[in-house]
Structure 1
Amino acid sequence: MKQVAISAQGGSIHIAFMEDGKLQEWRTQDVGAHAGVGDIYQGRVADVKPGIQSAFVDIGTGQNAYLYVDDTVGVESGGAAKPSIAERVHVGQKVLVQVSKEAMEMKAPKITMRISLQGRYLVYLPTEDSISLSRKITDDTKRKRLHQVISSTVAQGEGCILRTEAAEAEEQTLISELVYLRNRWQDMLRAAEGLRSSGRIFQDAELIEAALRDGLANGMDEVLVEGAATHQQVKAALAAFAPEVQEKLRWYQGKQPLFDFLGVETELIRARDRHVPLKSGGFLVIDRTEAMTVIDVNTGSFTGGGGQQREQAVTATNLEAVTEVARQLRLRDIGGIVIIDFIDMKEQSNKERVISRLKQELTKDPVPSTVLGMTSLGLVEMTRKRVRASLTERLTEPCEACKGRGRVWRVDELFRRLYAEVTALAKSQDAEAVLVDLPPRLLDMIEEWEKAEAVAWPVHVYKRLIPSMNPDEFRIGYVGNREEAERLQSK
């Protein structure tokens, strides 16, 4: 079963993609100034570097974003030579840009002036005069019909890309979606006019809409939503662009937090481990370096009992590992160069089976990847597009105590876990108060959010500072009545 689970517990949206009870992908909506993929900003060009055909744009996040010349728009000269970045933008110029790649720990966010707005059946291109169709639409009659419908609807200077799903869509459905996305763009232009400085004018809804679109494209069977307000938001989104699947929507009202119920929290903790066990007794070891990610496949305790030959046992382990490798790449959001060290196989046919299975499993991942082949040493070379920061970078941060050699939970992720635990206690026990022991960094953030009225606890929470506590943890010290919690807090 394929499920999309959505919760806004703790004030920010979190989405889990599940398949047969296993977590496949984890998406979050960061609070504050974080620039996410798809977000649109009004920026101001801060610097132009003709030597590297690039510009740096202040988008109001505290870190200038990177703009390459190929991602600018302008009148083409008609020649074969690439235009100079200095011909496209200049220092001080206001520009509307969209984040195409999130900031990494050592790299600025990458942006483009070629803005695109995602719909279920098409992608609207407000700044590009072009129409294209998915290559998967192979029927010439359907291609001609779709091109005719859209070409008569788009205005001069705008374009669109028709998705595979558009092949079976009604004409009026396509036109309505195009008009909807065009109106959204006009709203953004008006928002930009009223913005005096650099800042975000659109956040891709935007996270929920994108998740539902991806879920529909992947054949989701169920949408599980925690929280009444979030349930209404998802219900409205489905009514707008996919009313025929509203019966798949479920409002989760269990005593356990939704992600605990689905086992997501356990999977997220495991995603920080180097070792990934396989059912057969084998395991993966995943190591990240500055240049690439290396994945080692080991047989472990799997010997292929029952008289199997070594070649058969090794091939079976490698085929099992392939499925888990593809899942871990998506779950951990690993991008860039990836080297996979499979267990050595002698027969060429078995090597081809492993490569073929890997390519097949990677097609389930919405992020593009390319398998380049297997070397004579049995190393598979591949790349996966780096769209956003890895799961490790999103969930954790360098530990100050060991000067970056280790990592601890990010303070907002730590708060999410605390909030979920407090909520679970409020549902399962007849309590009016909870006493929590907190490290300094978590207490500081909670007090700051409480002052801004950004936190609504389900019960009264008493907080106790423990300076010596590990920055990666918190502790529930008492659950019960307010008088006792207050007494314990003052001790």
Structure 2
Amino acid sequence: MRQLAISGKGGVRIAYLADEQLIEWRTQETGEHVSAGDVYYGRIADVKQGIQSAFVDIGCGQNAYLYVDDTLPGPAMGKGKPSISERVQAGQYVICQVIKEGSERKAPKISLKISLQGRYLVYLPLEEGWSLSRKISASEERQRLEQIISPLLGSGEGVIVRTEAAGVERERLTSELAYLRARWEGVCQQAHAQKTPGRIGGDLDVVEAALRDALAEGLDEVVVEDATTYRQVQAVLDVFASDAQRLLRKHTGKQPLFDELGVEAKLEQALRREVPLGNGGYLVMDRTEAMTVIDVNTGSFTGGGGQQREQAVTATNLEAAKEIARQLRLRDIGGIVIIDFIDMKEPTNKERVLATLKKELARDVAPSTVHGMTALGLVEMTRKRVRASLAERLTEPCAACQGRGRVLRAEESIRRLHTELAGLARSQQAEAAVVELSARLFPLVDDEEAAAEQSWPLRIYKREEPRLAPDSYRITYVGQAAEAERLSESNRKRT
């Protein structure tokens, strides 16, 4: 059972689950956060000839990085690799697209080669020509798609035909191309009206992108929690997948959608260092500045020696290979990954583990490459980094331990408090709550009448508790407003 669960309450959040396991987590970021696929109107702030790069002000507080290979070709200026100074100049305004999100230490990476993705096509408004997915192998189908797409393209624009286009009728392909072309025209109009650097559009927003990717992988159900997002999903499916409207369902349960599916608990597990395996083994995942290191351990394994041990170890490694692929995708881990599987003696077993790892990684939207096993028995691989990791999105360095640890972001802690109070308000028909907050969270929550301005589900009486961890809170009472006020007043007198 593959589900896409979508909630628009407190910001769009999307969970992709397969057989009740959380596979992927996406959010619609707000404010100055730069997301992959976003389109910006930027100004070239500086050109660095020595590294063949430019830094671009896109209005987000941090200049983005542009490499020469990601610029648009200009008039022929001699042989050899072009120079960045031939492509862009300081002070020039450009339309650019984020191809890799920034991290806590790195700037976002951008490209001047814009691409707008649909379910069947990728529209390239500034690059002429077209190409077909290599996975479409039948010559008759390739010829059919060429006859459909080629006459539709104008001068200076291009298209990549995705694997999902195989067998799709002409009308649907034509309609999607017209939709993507209209999106680009809208971006250009925004850029023309824009006076300063800033976001002017994006790839299909998070809802559309999640639907597109999930439908390509296989989907049995789309569950949406709130009415506004439900209508948005309906509109998206009308354009990209009208046949998938039958998969759409409105969540009507008393519990919040993600509570019912256990998503919050699964996210907590995804932030932990240790990951349990079904047979008693476990993974240890450590992130460093240069790479991510994963150690596979037998855990409670107590098998005997010889062939019995080899079989048990291989079984643990095979299970670990599947879980590692899931964890890399769920945690959005990119870059170099080193895996220390449990030692195996037989070469055939090593090949089985590598083959399983490659097969599971192939399900991932982000491309990855397994480079094989070293003489020390370590597996080297890379996974393309597109988005910030789950840990970077949900947590931040802890000020109390000088960045050696991490705590939930303040806005994430407040969102979780809001969600928990909303569930209690519905289930208990409560009027008010008494909440203890860490010193870090205390000033971010308005109490009593002011709480209504923050759209809290009930009246809040708050108290600062210095002994709580920086990202923690504690709900000490939920119920009648008069009793909450009495308890709050009693707390004030004691302090």
What range describes the TM-score normalised by the shorter chain of this pair? over 0.9
* 1:5 counterpart residue number: 5
How do 1:91-170 and structure 2 match up within 5 A?
A: 91-170=90-169
How do 1:333-412 and structure 2 match up within 5 A?
A: 333-412=332-411
Q: What CA deviation, in whole Å up to 9, does each residue of 1:76-119 have, x standing for no partner? A: 52855111101111111100000000011110000000011111
* Paired residue type of 1:353: R
Native 8 Å contact 2:44 2:93 kept in 1: yes
* Paired residue type of 1:309: Q
Shift of 1:454: 8.0
Shift of 1:18: 0.4
Structure 2: where are the runs of 5+ without partners? Answer: none
Q: What CA deviation, in whole Å up to 9, does each residue of 1:460-485 have, x standing for no partner? A: 33333334532111111221122332
1:36 aligns with 2:35: yes
TM-score, length of structure 2 as denominator length: 0.95
Q: What CA deviation, in whole Å up to 9, does each residue of 1:157-189 have, x standing for no partner? A: 111111111111111111111111111111111
Task: Give the 3-state SS of the residue equivalent to 1:44 in structure 2.
Answer: strand
CA 1:245–1:479: 2 relative to 1, 3 Å: same
Native 8 Å contact 2:446 2:460 kept in 1: no
* Paired residue type of 1:111: I
Shift of 1:296: 0.7
Q: Structure 1 residues 255-264 or 288-297, which shifts more?
A: 255-264
* Paired residue type of 2:9: Q
Shift of 1:6: 0.7
* Paired residue type of 1:242: A
RMSD: 2.0
Q: What CA deviation, in whole Å up to 9, does each residue of 1:260-283 have, x standing for no partner? A: 211211111111221111111111
Equivalent-residue separation in structure 2 for 1:451 and 1:90 (angstroms): 50
Q: What CA deviation, in whole Å up to 9, does each residue of 1:127-156 have, x standing for no partner? A: 111201111111112112212221111111
* Paired residue type of 1:54: S
Q: Structure 1 residues 361-370 or 167-176, which shifts more?
A: 167-176
Task: Give the 3-state SS of the residue equivalent to 1:152 in structure 2.
Answer: helix
Q: What CA deviation, in whole Å up to 9, does each residue of 1:433-462 have, x standing for no partner? A: 2222223433434459x9999842222333
Percent identity over the alignment? 62
* Paired residue type of 1:383: T
* Paired residue type of 1:95: V
* Paired residue type of 2:175: S
Shift of 1:348: 0.8
Task: Give the 3-state SS of the residue equivalent to 1:137 in structure 2.
Answer: coil
Task: Give the 3-state SS of the residue equivalent to 2:232 in structure 1.
Answer: helix
Native 8 Å contact 2:451 2:460 kept in 1: no
* 2:211 counterpart residue number: 212
Shift of 1:9: 2.1
CA 1:29–1:322: 2 relative to 1, 3 Å: same
Shift of 1:320: 0.9
Native 8 Å contact 2:292 2:336 kept in 1: yes
* 1:45 counterpart residue number: 44
Native 8 Å contact 1:101 1:386 kept in 2: yes
Native 8 Å contact 1:303 1:313 kept in 2: no
Native 8 Å contact 1:304 1:312 kept in 2: no
* 1:439 counterpart residue number: 438
TM-score, length of structure 1 as denominator length: 0.96
Native 8 Å contact 2:432 2:459 kept in 1: yes
* Paired residue type of 1:6: I
